[in-house]
């Protein structure tokens, strides 16, 4: 009996390990299937090397919600009159108007008011604070540049949606303008439902709208366009001209 008990224990451990391995393989298969499905969904709109991980995840989320792939435009480069570009994370064309998304990936606590030029990110329970440009103002500039590309955009409603991804908490965000939404990525579909419930927009030529948005996406497909934009932003910030 003393010999049999250890043998039974060993057999039990081996069988348990086999079940665990099978479970692990099953979980891996589920993960692999989900990943491949998401990649196929993503490729109906954009490439897996464009934009950020958070932007691509938002694209997948919108597709799963039921937004047609033809209405989603990712990583746009809108040409400005001075031949520079305004880079936009994501645009969705809906019956209610044009939704322009600015996607931020932050951790910590986020503080800011709509009229403040700088917002604050707080980390480590208040011991670290960082400033970043007001994303509402940033996205408003994008909307202005996009409006300027078409005459009919003057009468089309534009909605600005600032999406925060990552492990962050919107602690004190206020004075958000009409037509603008600041939202955690988990609740972005609530915002979409609010916008989609509004009156239909007075489009004059939907095909022209699609053409302009597609052209902006194609601008970003050229590596030199992206590099030119990065160089312009870097020069504008001028950090390389600061000697501390």
- Tell me: do 124 and 82 sit in the same domain: yes
pLDDT value of position 115:
96
- pLDDT tens figures, 48-93: 999 999 999 999 999 999 999 999 999 999 998 888 899 999 999 9
57 closest CA partner among 87, 34, 27: 34
Q: Is the pTM of this model over 0.75?
A: yes
Of 8-22, 72-86, 191-205, least confident by mean pLDDT is 8-22
In percent, the amount of the chain with pLDDT more than 90 equals 70
Q: Are residues 176 and 115 in the same domain?
A: yes
Domain span at residue 38 reads: 1-43
Instruction: Provide the domain count of the chain.
Output: 2
Q: Span 33-46, mean pLDDT? A: 89
Are 121 and 68 in the same domain? yes
CA dist list (Å): 237 to 43, 83, 114, 144, 153: 34, 19, 22, 21, 30
Distance CA 105, CA 123 (A): 14
**pLDDT at position 11 over 80:** no
Residue 202 CB: number of other CB atoms within 10 A? 10
- Do residues 85 and 147 share a domain? yes
Give the mean pLDDT of the chain. Answer: 86
CATH of the domain at 62: 3.40.1350.10
- Asked whether residue 184 falls in the same domain as residue 167, the answer is yes
Residue 244 maps to a domain: no
Residue 145: pLDDT over 60: yes
Evaluate whether residue 86 is within a structural domain. Answer: yes
Residues 10 and 112 occupy one common structural domain: no
In terms of domains, do 135 and 224 share one? Answer: yes
């Amino acid at each position: 009996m003393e010999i049999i008990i250890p043998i039974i224990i060993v057999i039990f451990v081996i069988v348990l390990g086999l079940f665990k391995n099978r479970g692990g393989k099953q979980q891996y298969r589920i993960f692999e299937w989900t990943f491949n499905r998401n990649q196929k969904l993503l490729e109906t709109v954009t490439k897996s090397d464009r934009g950020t991980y958070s932007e691509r995840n938002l694209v997948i989320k919108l597709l799963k919600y039921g937004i047609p792939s033809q209405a989603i435009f990712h990583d746009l480069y809108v040409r400005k009159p001075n031949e520079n570009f305004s880079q936009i994370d994501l645009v969705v064309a809906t019956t209610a108007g044009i939704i322009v998304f600015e996607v931020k990936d932050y951790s910590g606590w986020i503080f800011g008011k709509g009229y403040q030029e700088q917002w604050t990110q707080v980390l480590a329970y208040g011991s670290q604070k960082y400033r970043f440009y007001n994303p509402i103002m940033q996205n408003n500039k994008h909307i202005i540049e996009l409006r300027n590309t078409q005459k009919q955009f003057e009468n089309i409603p534009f909605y600005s949606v600032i999406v925060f991804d990552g492990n962050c908490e919107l602690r004190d965000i206020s004075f958000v303008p009409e037509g603008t939404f600041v939202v955690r990525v988990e609740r972005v579909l609530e915002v979409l439902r609010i916008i989609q419930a509004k009156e239909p927009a007075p489009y004059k030529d939907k095909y022209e709208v699609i053409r302009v948005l597609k052209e902006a996406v194609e601008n970003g497909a050229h590596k030199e366009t992206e590099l030119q934009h990065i160089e312009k932003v870097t020069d504008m910030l001028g950090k390389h001209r600061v000697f501390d």
